[in-house]
Structure 1
Amino acid sequence: MKRIHLALLATLLLPTVLWLAADTLLPEPFTYFSFRSVFMQYSGVIAIGVMSVAMLLALRSKWLEPLLGGLDRMYRLQKWLGIAALVVAILHWWWATGTKWMVGWGWLVRPARKPGAGVAVGQHLVLRPAALR
C-alpha cells in the first residue's frame, strides 16, 4: 500500500479504535434512537479527528514531506481527508436534524423521556430532595 493510503487508513482507524475502547457501536437495547445517540458521538469524533489531521497537513511541515512522499502527496492526502470530513460531517448533521424531521413527519415516534429530578405541579416545578427520589 502507498504511504498516503496508510496515513488515511490510520487517520480513520485510530479514532475508531479509541472510540471502541471507550464505548460500543451496539447499544443495549438496540433501538433507532439509542443507535442514533451513539453514532452521532462516533461520527463527531471521526469528523473532528479527520479535520484536525487535515489542518496539521495544511501547515506543510518539512518533516512530514519525506514520510508521505512529497508535498504533492501531502496535498492529495489533505484533499481526501477534507472529502472524508465533509461526508462524515453531513452524516452527523443528518442524524441530528433528519431524525427530528422524521419525527415531525410522523415516520418515527419519539421515545418517552426519563423522569427528571423534579415533579411538575400546575405550572411550577417542585424539586424533591435526593432522599425521596
Structure 2
Amino acid sequence: MGHIKIALWGSLALLTGLWLLTDASVWQAAGFFPLRDPMVQLTGVLAMGCMSIAMVLALRPRWPEQWLGGLDKMYRLHKWLGIGGLVLSVTHWLWSQGPK
C-alpha cells in the first residue's frame, strides 16, 4: 500500500505545486470571497488531474505495474484516484455554488 499512497499523494502534491507556481494571487487573498476563486480553480485542477491519471491507468500500461507491485495494485490506485476525483469535483461544485 506504500507505493499507492506515494503515487496518489505525490500526484496531488505535484499538481498543487504546479498550480501554485502559475497563480500568485492565492497568496494575496484576504477574506473568504477573494479566496473562493483560487480554491475553485485548485479543486478543478486536482479533480481533472485525478481523472486524467485514472484514465491513463485504465489503459493498463506496463510501466507503472512494476513500481506499484502488480496490476491489482494499479487497479487499486485507479479506484482511489476515481474516488478522489469525485470528492474533489463535489468540493469544486460546493466552492463555486455554495457560498452564494
The answer to whether TM tops 0.5 is yes
Structure 2 residue 49 is the aligned partner of structure 1 residue 49? yes
Task: Mark the structure with the bigger radius of gyration.
Answer: 1
* TM-score, length-scaled by structure 1: 0.69
Answer whether contact 1:26 1:35 (CA < 8 A) is retained. Answer: no
Q: In the alignment, does 2:3 pair up with 1:27?
A: no
Q: In 2, Cα distance between the equivalents of 1:96 and 1:3? A: 33
Question: Which consecutive unaligned segments of at least 5 residues does structure 1 have?
Answer: 101-133
Structure scoring higher RCO (CA < 8 A, sep ≥ 6) equals: 2
TM-score, normalised on structure 2? 0.90
Cα separation, 1, equivalents of 2:8 and 2:87: 15
Map 1:112-131 onto structure 2 (within 5 A): none
Deviation at 1:22, TM superposition (A): 1.6
Rounded to whole Å, the distance in 2 between the matches of 1:95 and 1:63 is: 36
**Per residue, is there more strand in 1 or in 2?**
1
Unaligned runs of 5+ in 2: none
Structure 2: distance between partners of 1:55 and 1:18: 20
Where is the helix percentage greater, Structure 1 or Structure 2?
A: 2
Give, in whole Å, the separation in 2 of the partners of 1:63 and 1:20.
29
